[in-house]
Each structure stands twice: as C-alpha cells, then as structure tokens.
Amino acid sequence: MDKMIEKAKEELQMLETLHPHRFDYLKTELKSFISLLQSQILPEYLPTTSSATTQASTSMKRKRESDGKRVVKRKRDRVDVVLEKAQACLLKIQEFKFSSIC
C-alpha cells in the first residue's frame, strides 16, 4: 500500500506542476485517495495509549472481542473499497496521460 501512496503522490505532484490551474477534480480525488490510504495505514502502526473508560466504549470492546470475525470482515471490505478507488484513480491518470500525448 505504501507504493500506491507514493505513486499517487507522484502523480499529484506532476499534475500540480504541469497543470496548476486545470484538473482540480482529479487533484482533489487524488488528495482524498492519499488521505484515505494513509488513514488506513496509520491505525495499524500506532499503538493505542488510552484504555476505554466509559461504559459505551467497554461495551463496544466486548462486542468486538466476541464478534472478531465481523470486525475483520468490515476492515477487509474497507480496504477493498480503498483499493478499488485507487485503481479507478490511477486509471483516470493513465487515460489523461494517454489523451495528452495524442
């Protein structure tokens, strides 16, 4: 996933450099995509420093522990959505590159 983030950042930088006043929608999509990917990566690497102290938090924690498969599936689904968006975004970039060459 790190490679995908780097590639998206490179493409965004190139678009901003070559077309500073054009393709705002594509630039916004790339920025959103990068943020989404980074938010998916950060929780995996950052340790939690606080414990749940409220009843609601404790209840949710118990539910997650008892229903661990459901949580894993949701996370996998989110990752699939992110990857699909990434592929669509990179496809748009490739189409743009091809159309600008022709």
Q: State the Cα–Cα distance between residues 82 and 60, nearest whole angstrom.
A: 25
Q: State the Cα–Cα distance between residues 79 and 75, nearest whole angstrom.
A: 6
Q: Are 4 and 86 in contact (CB under 8 A)?
A: yes
SS3 label, residue 47: coil
pLDDT per position as a tens digit, 17-60: 988 898 888 888 888 888 888 887 655 544 455 444 455 555 55
Token pair, residue 86, equals 């990434």
Whether residue 75 is predicted with pLDDT greater than 80 in this model: the reply is no
Banded model confidence at residue 10, pLDDT cuts 50, 70, 90: confident
pLDDT for res 4: 81
pTM of the model: 0.46
Nearest Cα to Cα of residue 26 among 74, 82, 97, 83: 97
Whether residue 14 is predicted with pLDDT greater than 80 in this model: the reply is yes
